[in-house]
Amino acid sequence: MANNNPNFNDIEIDGTPFNVLMQQAAEMKTQELAQNRRYFDSLPVYFQHSLYSKEDVIAAQDETNFEKKKEFSLFCKDKGNELFHRNQFLYASLEYERSLAVWDYLRSVYGSDWKTKVCLTMFLSIHLCDSLT
């Protein structure tokens, strides 16, 4: 049985080996994403974590009724306060992040299955609350 798979070392495009072109393309993409990654890393941690919000937080983010949104945010804050008073600081900080993520958050422009479609740092939309009045 003959091997029908091409040997990429033998393929050339305009005299340049295919594997060299692929290496150059990968290096270019790495440089392009490095800027996006530096920007993402410069954001506050709670803001970065908002990209990974669970369904209840996402539902609150999408809520159009301000009072319901505020109620969920305060619920998370109060839960964080309870955990803080019990010296469970890590879990308290996670609840505070959930409370903040209702108002200011990152979301992939590809929706909830973005992890299977694109690199993290390329396609984010930023949502900031204009006013909490």
| pLDDT category of residue 7 using cuts at 50, 70 and 90 | low
Residue 35 CB-half CA count within 13 A: 5
Per-residue model confidence as pLDDT tens digits over 18-53: 888 888 888 887 777 777 778 778 888 888 888 788
Residues 60-79, mean pLDDT to the nearest whole number: 93
Q: What tokens were used for 76?
A: 């998370």
Q: How many CB atoms lie within 10 A of CB 133?
A: 4
CB-neighbour burial class of residue 102 (10 A; exposed 0-12, middle 13-18, buried 19+): buried
Most confident stretch, 22-26, 80-84, 101-105, 106-110: 80-84
Cα–Cα dist 63/71, whole Å: 11
Mean pLDDT value across residues 44-64: 86
User: Model's pTM, two decimal places?
Assistant: 0.61
